[in-house]
Copies of this chain bind each other. A is one copy, B any other.
């Protein structure tokens, strides 16, 4: 089974600290590299973690607060300097294209490859990327400006026909596609063989949801229900609940509440305010609500099982 993982490049909010860079995550799925958010320093983090930037073909920018996109122009420039020719796809809310174009213009730059911008709508469930291995959908978050989360999940795989069933019933090639989809098989003698007798379940599909930045919002539950890994922002702890509400961010307890209600397998917290130093308190606050939780750390790869 191919690896499906998330490497956190930056777990800090708003401004970088000595230990936490700004938002950025590299998702590896079906041997493809997807970048989610690109705060200042993201390209440096990619390099430090020995991740080949040229393998990134899709960049998703959740929203246009600077800590989520000010690093994009530098990354795109470096791709150019290193001789990229492959196009890149960038999914973002309206306005990003203009900033990238102005920066290229004043720096007298013309990229060696094509930028394909795709405007995000402020809606859930819009399919952004879909191929035979995985798909990426938008999640409408609740922030002070239009902001999208992303659901990345493997595509439902066909059922596996048992080798011994093919031999036993002499199943013709023409019938196999239907059986893989779950159809029963009728022998030449007219006997119907139940699908579950001749197939086994495909590998379970795995999924990851990225929800940052957002206030507590139950609207997202249907989008993230049952995911294997939920990255949810937790800028604050409950001591700053009012501040969280006011700035459209979440507390650790709120993120955990979402994880619990959505029945996800594991929760990863991040986007921590620089004011907090005792991170075990963060973990404890979340664990009191939802047990299987981890705190994001820069440079750590989280495997989606």
Interface residues of A (CB under 8 A from B): 14-18, 21, 40-41, 43-44, 47-48, 64-67, 69-71, 73-74, 77-78, 81-82, 95-96, 98-99, 102-103, 105-109, 144-145
Number of copies of this chain that the complex holds: 2
Given contacts A15-B43, A41-B41, list 14 more A-B pairs with CB under 8 A.
A15-B77, A15-B78, A21-B44, A40-B44, A40-B71, A65-B107, A66-B74, A66-B103, A66-B107, A70-B74, A95-B105, A96-B106, A99-B103, A108-B145
B103–A18 contact, CB under 8 A?
no
Nearest 7 pairs of A and B residues by beta carbon = A95-B106, A40-B74, A15-B78, A102-B102, A66-B77, A70-B74, A16-B44
B14–A108 contact, CB under 8 A?
no
Least CB separation from A101: chain B residue: B102
Contact partners of A144 in chain B: CB under 8 A: 108
B41–A44 contact, CB under 8 A?
yes
A47–B99 contact, CB under 8 A?
no
A16–B71 contact, CB under 8 A?
no
